[in-house]
Structure 1
Amino acid sequence: MFMSRRRFSQILAAGGATAAFAGVLTSCSSGESASEPDAAAEQQSAPEQVIVSMPTNAEPEAGFDPFVAWGCGEHVHEPLIQSTLVKTDTDMGLHNDLATSYECSEDGMVWTFKIRTDVKFTDGEPLTAEDVAFTINGIKDAPASEVDLSMVSEAVALDDETVEIRMVHPFNILMYTLATVGICPAHAHGDDYGSNPIGSGRYKLAQWDRGQQVIFEANPDYYGEAPVMKRVVVVFMDEDASLAAAQAGQVDVAYTSATMADALPAGYELLSVKTVDSRGISLPVVPAGAKRLAGDVEYDAGNNVTCDLALRRAMNYAVDRELLVDRSLSGHATPAFSPSDGMPWACKDMKIATDVEKAKGILADGGWVAGDDGVLVKDGVRAEFKLYYMTNDMMRQAMAADFAEQMAPLGIKVNVEGKSWDDLEPMSYSEAQLWGWGSNSPIEVYNLNYSEGSSDFACRDNETTNEYLEQAVSTPTIEASYELYQKAQFDGSEGVTPDTDAPWVWLANADHLYFTRDGLKVADQKPHPHGHGWSIVNNVDEWTWA
């Protein structure tokens, strides 16, 4: 049974969810047609099964292959099918998974892992250090890989249970990446691996109907604690279809957004998961006319309005983040002050209270005076700039409009405009843009603030910050690096806080919202990163039914 993704979503959204969706689910388990009992009845007789809806863009195009994006791509999550060397807990602490121990050399150039000897792939073959080295080297060299392992020189298996990861340069953020890199079998990885993955994780892939659903079943040979939830069905659908499926009682967990969260279906609760899914505005700190080289591409850089320090500081103090969250996101978010709020490497000095009078004072002291039309002027430059957002993102559109409305009484005119990513990308270093970030690692702090970081769209180049970040990624002990990341943000004198260089205005961390069926106990979630998808099932093996 197969239908296109678009047609599948149309059927659900049009009100045919019960019949059409039940047919898909029951045909998965029994091989029969849509005349089988519906999914709600099936759920009642299958207390060890859960059905979860995810956005259509959560379906992995290349399948379940870590060599491309599965688990360790842009929206990171645990790979479920494969095991990882290490894993993170709800406080983002690192723990062993395949590894029994690990250590880093004093110079940060070699990470050595000892791995378990009791692990088998689902085809019965043992997992050894050779498979770990094969995976790391394969991802590093794969042209289609979405994960950055450019800091790795090579991985070498010293024996069956010892592997070394040798570095090009010290970069301890690698450890957080390894928490999402699924280990693949060297003997059974090929072009069709994404569709037919062999792993050693908690689950194995039982069925994948492209454009519709994926079914996972518990791996009976898993070396760890056996999953409580034995069968996991993930269905891919648009947001309105996800709501329709919940209203029809056809899913147990349905993703939703702030705009639909009030439409709570009968028999469901609203689960709100805290995140580091951050929204913030980049403010180029150098005047227009500069250039920025990113890879092989040279970009125009700088902005004659946002380069003014007083203006940047004032906007940070003037914006009422709580009000913006209430008006733009219906309260389903928390105010953001950095891309890592609540994480061990977050800096407390990034957080400030709204103070409009202080903002006005900063502007006055900075030489800004009201022009004839009320817009501030300084040295012939008007306090007027464009703020761009992605056109297909209603959340960013609403937040950008709200920010502009809040700046107007100060005499700062923000002209909001939506564009496609193809149009936005060339302006990344020259115009203010409303971005979405968020990762369960310090990578955002590094890339946004290091002068050679891949996301330094504010064009800030500060030697002190660079030195802190270089020290942080070179520290052999992960926990010892936290203070250095914090000092990179503010060391008591210099930094990126609203009272120092203020290269960004951070606005909100968007909650990830789900309708969950009554009686389902979803295990405590670690903060979700940017991207509304697989993170919700990181610990699905621990979920239970009352």
Structure 2
Amino acid sequence: MALTRRDFMRAAALAGAASAGLLAGCAGGGEGTAAGSTATGAGASAAGGAGAGPNGESQVIVTMTPSSEPAAGFDPLMGWGAGEHVHEPLIQSTLIATDDDLSFVNDLAVAYNCSEDGLTWTFTIRDDAVFTDGVPLTAEDVAFTINGIAQGAAAEADLSMVAEARALDAVTCEIAMKRPNNALLYTLAVVGIVPAHAYGSDYGANPIGSGRYMLEQWDRGQQVILRANPDYYGEKPLMDRVVVLFMEEDASLAAASSGLADVAYTSASLAGAAPVGYTLLDCASVDSRGISLPCNPAGTDVVVDGDMVYVGGNDVTSDIAVRRALNYGIDREVMIERVLAGFGRPAYSVADGMPWSSAAMRVETDGAAAERLLDEARWQRGDDGMRSRDGVPCAFDLYYAAGDSTRQALAYDFADQCAALGIAVTPKGASWDDIYLRQYADPVLWGWGSNAPVELFELTHSAGWGNYAQYGDATVDAHLEAAQAARTVEESFPLYQAAQWDDATQTGVAPEGAATWVWLANVDHLYFEREGLAVAAQKPHPHGHGWSLVNNVDRWSWK
């Protein structure tokens, strides 16, 4: 059954006036057509779960958050596939990819190796990949893409470790490194290869790739339609057409309630309200929520990039006893039940469950131990039950992103639990622009997590871009640097673990050590899934409720 404008307007009415324009704009009839395309839009979608597109091909309609829409379009040299929300680029091929176990598998590459000194990587690529304009993909395109990202100021993928990529012949690309860094592989697994001959300023809106899908239509602020690439060199996609609607949470629920979407993202607070004909799809994640704890006293300003000066330091969280007490005193299981309705797991690090995670990061709730740590550090309770020391209240502000209801609820639950310990926490919702100004001085409730150890490095190394705690230790840094310099990723895992806690030197960022963060929860990614749709098994989702869901949409099917 075809979707009509009336169907969309009915859903829009359910979602409210704010989302009416979005849903109506997705109707068929040629509105919002991308340049050079013929719009069928979501108007030809499968209302009632038929799963058929405008020409009878298999189709799925998925909702995503508005922030999932790529601001610069589908351009890997800008941010598509990389950045904060990492995912497979779909439109473009990658040299390598990761399987369900997060092991590396070949895509364009048929073989690759690294020199003994770690300074040269050599990739041999397949000779049967063709761009959608009919031009064969060669090593020249691979080198062009890697150099474009490594030298591009606006690139979100991190290839800063690359000195230069060069094509040795049509199927061989050599990458010269500035320093040994096996994290290169994790980045290459999400970097889509673009055509050197057809790349220009409008590429993001009109991408040419060699991946599983090609862009059929993009109506900015509304929807994206992808169609299976008939010339794809790999296994033919089972799902011929993918429609992505960008909408707020209430509109996403309305799209499912109206039968307009096949997979609609939702939150823990709405998870029990699956519409008739839908089941709840619960995807485990490494999408961690945690609070950075500044380790230096107030007045320790931070200089970034040589000229940006940020106020830094905190007289309460700079006390290691307070940081450790927070780690021991917070009951994460209770928080997850109260805030996430049970749809999550306790978090102890930014890498829980990953091969590079450390068991030493885990801490069992022990309120008595937390009280003892605070007592021994002379944080004494007053008549009101709250603690202070030498006239300084055991109190701090906790910043979170305003408008994020989950972070707000986590922040207030954290504050309630801290109050029981005698620590006064004041949650403050703010814009990211305001939060960034306070990120080195006040605790901040962040969201992190990826299928790579890059964030562990950056949040932990003394010079890392995410070292909001401003903690530095030479032994920790040495372990992290050795991990990146290891010749294989497998050799890096015990080094990453030692950076978190090293028994021999009794150093690290674990709760037993510096306790630079208090991690709270890994948030499950939740969706309403139409009955009759078979969504393929999911890898752990990284931070971001968006494109990672459809990493393997080519393996989805209708029953």
Tell whether the structures are fold-level matches, with TM greater than 0.5. yes
Aligned equivalent of 2:112? 102
* Aligned residues of 1:303 and 1:430 also touching (Cα < 8 A): yes
Report the TM-score, using the length of structure 2 for normalisation.
0.92
Aligned equivalent of 1:343? 354
Q: Residue 111 of structure 1 aligns to a residue in which SS?
A: strand
* Aligned residues of 1:26 and 1:38 also touching (Cα < 8 A): no
Pair 1:381-2:392 in alignment: yes
Pair 1:312-2:323 in alignment: yes
Aligned equivalent of 2:551? 538
Pair 1:78-2:88 in alignment: yes
**Residue 365 (structure 1) aligned to one of 368, 372, 376:** 376
**Which AA in structure 2 matches 1:143?**
A
**Which AA in structure 1 matches 2:386?**
V
Measured after TM superposition, the shift of residue 130 of structure 1 is: 0.4
Q: How many residues align?
A: 541
Pair 1:40-2:48 in alignment: yes
Matched residues in 1 for 2:345 and 2:148: separation? 39
1:18/1:411 CA distance change after superposition, 3 Å: closer
1:499/1:210 CA distance change after superposition, 3 Å: same
Q: Residue 301 of structure 1 aligns to a residue in which SS?
A: coil
- Percent of pairs with identical residues: 56
**Residue 273 (structure 1) aligned to one of 262, 266, 283:** 283
Matched residues in 2 for 1:215 and 1:472: separation? 41
**Residue 135 (structure 1) aligned to one of 145, 162, 169:** 145
Measured after TM superposition, the shift of residue 380 of structure 1 is: 3.4
Matched residues in 2 for 1:86 and 1:22: separation? 39
Cα offsets for 1:327-353 (capped at 9, x unmatched): 112212111000111111111111111
Matched residues in 2 for 1:541 and 1:468: separation? 39
Pair 1:402-2:413 in alignment: yes
**Which AA in structure 1 matches 2:225?**
I
* Aligned residues of 2:61 and 2:244 also touching (Cα < 8 A): yes
Matched residues in 2 for 1:503 and 1:16: separation? 41
**Residue 118 (structure 1) aligned to one of 86, 109, 128:** 128
Matched residues in 2 for 1:69 and 1:106: separation? 32
* Aligned residues of 2:49 and 2:530 also touching (Cα < 8 A): no
**Residue 74 (structure 2) aligned to one of 64, 70, 75:** 64
Cα offsets for 1:173-207 (capped at 9, x unmatched): 12111111000000111111111111110111112
* Aligned residues of 2:289 and 2:445 also touching (Cα < 8 A): yes
1:8/1:128 CA distance change after superposition, 3 Å: farther
Aligned equivalent of 2:301? 291
1:197/1:19 CA distance change after superposition, 3 Å: closer
Segment of structure 1 superposing worse, 241-250 or 31-40: 31-40
Aligned equivalent of 1:24? 26
Matched residues in 1 for 2:247 and 2:429: separation? 25
**Residue 50 (structure 1) aligned to one of 49, 60, 63:** 60
Measured after TM superposition, the shift of residue 9 of structure 1 is: 8.9
Measured after TM superposition, the shift of residue 372 of structure 1 is: 3.4
Segment of structure 1 superposing worse, 359-368 or 515-524: 359-368
Matched residues in 2 for 1:117 and 1:21: separation? 43
Measured after TM superposition, the shift of residue 141 of structure 1 is: 2.3
Matched residues in 1 for 2:160 and 2:358: separation? 28
* Aligned residues of 2:27 and 2:43 also touching (Cα < 8 A): no
Aligned equivalent of 1:322? 333
Matched residues in 2 for 1:53 and 1:386: separation? 35
**Which AA in structure 1 matches 2:167?**
A
* Aligned residues of 1:264 and 1:270 also touching (Cα < 8 A): yes
Aligned equivalent of 2:254? 244
**Which AA in structure 2 matches 1:411?**
G
Matched residues in 2 for 1:166 and 1:356: separation? 52
CA RMSD in angstroms comes to: 2.4
Pair 1:518-2:534 in alignment: no
Q: Which runs of 5+ in 2 are unaligned?
A: 31-36
Cα offsets for 1:31-82 (capped at 9, x unmatched): 5799979733763575621111111121112211111111122211000010
Segment of structure 1 superposing worse, 197-206 or 38-47: 38-47
Segment of structure 1 superposing worse, 14-23 or 408-417: 14-23
**Which AA in structure 1 matches 2:501?**
F
Aligned equivalent of 2:468? 457
* Aligned residues of 1:75 and 1:531 also touching (Cα < 8 A): yes
* Aligned residues of 1:22 and 1:37 also touching (Cα < 8 A): no
Measured after TM superposition, the shift of residue 496 of structure 1 is: 0.9
Matched residues in 1 for 2:65 and 2:14: separation? 14
1:447/1:215 CA distance change after superposition, 3 Å: same
**Which AA in structure 2 matches 1:155?**
A
**Which AA in structure 1 matches 2:541?**
H
1:166-205 mapped onto 2 (5 Å cutoff): 166-205=176-215
Matched residues in 1 for 2:433 and 2:226: separation? 36
**Residue 503 (structure 1) aligned to one of 516, 530, 536:** 516
Matched residues in 2 for 1:19 and 1:305: separation? 48
Q: Which runs of 5+ in 1 are unaligned?
A: none
* Aligned residues of 2:46 and 2:59 also touching (Cα < 8 A): no
Matched residues in 2 for 1:166 and 1:502: separation? 37
Measured after TM superposition, the shift of residue 316 of structure 1 is: 0.5
Measured after TM superposition, the shift of residue 159 of structure 1 is: 1.0
Aligned equivalent of 1:422? 433
* Aligned residues of 1:18 and 1:250 also touching (Cα < 8 A): no
1:47/1:222 CA distance change after superposition, 3 Å: closer
**Which AA in structure 1 matches 2:349?**
S
Pair 1:473-2:484 in alignment: yes
**Which AA in structure 1 matches 2:540?**
P
Aligned equivalent of 2:263? 253
**Residue 102 (structure 2) aligned to one of 67, 92, 99:** 92
Cα offsets for 1:66-100 (capped at 9, x unmatched): 11111122211000010001101122111111111
Aligned equivalent of 1:228? 238
Measured after TM superposition, the shift of residue 424 of structure 1 is: 1.1
Measured after TM superposition, the shift of residue 144 of structure 1 is: 2.3
Report the TM-score, using the length of structure 1 for normalisation.
0.94
Aligned equivalent of 1:216? 226
* Aligned residues of 2:13 and 2:20 also touching (Cα < 8 A): no
**Residue 390 (structure 1) aligned to one of 379, 392, 401:** 401
Measured after TM superposition, the shift of residue 261 of structure 1 is: 1.6
1:343/1:464 CA distance change after superposition, 3 Å: same
Measured after TM superposition, the shift of residue 387 of structure 1 is: 1.1
Measured after TM superposition, the shift of residue 118 of structure 1 is: 1.3
* Aligned residues of 1:17 and 1:244 also touching (Cα < 8 A): no
* Aligned residues of 2:378 and 2:389 also touching (Cα < 8 A): yes
